[in-house]
Amino acid sequence: MKETVIELKDVWKTYQMGEVEVHAIRGVSLNIKKGEFVAITGSSGSGKSTCMNLVGCLDVPSKGKIFLEDKDISSLSRSNLAEIRGKKIGFIFQQFNLFPTLNALENVMLPAEFQDENGNDIKKRAKELLEMVGLGDRIHHRPTELSGGQAQRVAIARALANDPEIILADEPTGNLDSKTGEYIMNFLSKLNKEEGKTVIMVTHDLGLIKFAKRVIKLKDGQIMGGNKK
């Protein structure tokens, strides 16, 4: 049996909207094993983004428990959550979230620099990662000088900067054409199959779930189904 890397136990996330309480996530229990490729799907308003924030240590639950490698992170401070994220989780966002004033190499180096690693080692690994995603000749280009597909590949390289065990991808092909999107998904699949990375993808695009080994469907903040493929 593979070990659990992330577990949610009866998790709720409630937002106060004036006098009204909005339950974005309602009693979600979820177990993700090491090396899985999981897709979390659902329509707009289903709770996907909230679930991503909780799974990715970007937020804490209103009720319930969240465990990351058996460590209860449910009530950690934001600074402690940030420290865990930096070491354990690599993020790939739909909007890329690259710093426009930094070139590709500098963007990829950034997460490791926050961990106070050796500067020469950081630069060497960043170059290797950019070469791995096919951008060895674009390391000095800024985001405005890159295509959408190239920018997303920089974002993937940045997500791998600290060699995280978990890759969290939020609509990773949302701003890409179908051909480039296919490339990105094949690359994520390769990271999962060949390097054993745990990949958690949040998407409303049902065309992407073929890459996942398990699909979890959310509706109105609750899990409606979770099938293995």
Give me the CATH number covering residue 84: 3.40.50.300
* Angle, in degrees to the nearest 10, between helices 104-114 and 119-132: 130
Model confidence pLDDT, tens digit, residues 37-70: 999 999 888 999 899 989 988 888 999 999 998 8
pLDDT exceeding 90 applies to what percent of the chain?
A: 70
Structural domain boundaries enclosing 120: 36-49+79-228
Say how far apart CA 146 and CA 173 lie, in whole Å.
Answer: 16
CB 229 within 8 A of CB 213: yes
Within a domain: 223: yes
Q: What pTM was estimated for this model as a whole?
A: 0.89
Give phi and psi for 14, each to the nearest 5: -120, 135
Whether 24 is covered by a domain: the verdict is no
Instruction: Assess if residue 72 is contained within a domain.
Output: no
Mean pLDDT of 125-132: 95
Confirm whether 71 is domain-assigned. no
How many structural domains compose the chain? 1
Please state the separation of Cα 58 from the chain's center in Å.
11
What would the pLDDT profile of 168-191 be if each residue is shown by its tens digit?
999 999 889 889 999 999 999 999
Q: Is 56 within the bounds of a domain?
A: no
**Nearest alpha carbon to residue 195 among 215, 229, 166:** 166
At 59, the amino acid letter reads D
Distances 29 to 206, 212, 217, 221, 226 between C-alpha atoms, Å: 22, 19, 13, 11, 11
Tokens of 172: 């990773």
Task: Provide the CA 154 distance to its chain's centre, in angstroms.
Answer: 14
Domain membership of residue 183 (yes or no) is: yes
Residue 12 domain-assigned?
Answer: no
| DSSP structure class, residue 148 | H
Cβ atoms of residues 35 and 211 within 8 Å: no
In a domain, 60, yes or no: no
Per DSSP (E only), the strands in the chain are 4-17, 20-33, 37-41, 63-68, 71-72, 89-93, 166-170, 198-203, 214-219, 222-228
